[in-house]
Copies of this chain bind each other. A is one copy, B any other.
Amino acid sequence: MSELKKQQNFRMTRQRGIILEELRRINTHPSADEIYEQVRKQQPRISLGTVYRNLEILSELGEIQKLETGSSIKRFDGNPVNHYHIRCICCDRVVDAPVEPLINTSKDIHEATNYKIIGHRFEFIGVCPECSDDAVAPGLEKVKYL
């Protein structure tokens, strides 16, 4: 599969183009379904399956990032440069975190564990300003992070 992918010739279809454009235009880190709804405005017959397939391919190509947050749904980021995020525990929205990525932690870990370290994920968990305003922030009481 590795080799296959690498010798594959990717085509820029209308669907793929719109998805990439859309992700580049916004910075809301949408889910596949949110992207689907958005793209449908220009390409009404696009299918969810196509959206998923293209998001997968675009992130393999390094054009976008698949954000594997602690949430049960994956989100996508049109900015391919590594950076950290803050996720709202109430509404699940994700924004960029204003901190520089850490470096050089991986080497120590490798020496201690013998794992090959490919990278790391750092995610702040919080409550966004909108959700903080709500009298009761649903889900808040369940949180057990540090």
Contact = CB atoms under 8 A, between A and B. Distances in A.
A140 interface: yes
Interface string A101-135: 10001101110111111111111111111001000
Nearest to A111: B98
A99 B106 contact: no
B86 A141 contact: no
A143 B88 CA distance: 25
A129 B114 contact: yes
A62 interface: yes
A12 interface: no
A11 to B, nearest CB: 20
Nearest to A118: B125
- Among A109, A118, A122, the one with the most B-chain Cβ atoms within 10 Å of its Cβ is A118
Given A97-B113, A101-B146, 11 more contacts: A62-B144, A65-B144, A86-B117, A88-B115, A106-B124, A109-B124, A113-B126, A115-B124, A115-B127, A117-B126, A119-B145
Interface of A: 1-2, 5-6, 59-60, 62, 65-66, 68-71, 82, 86, 88-89, 95, 97-99, 101, 105-106, 108-110, 112-129, 132, 136, 138, 140-146
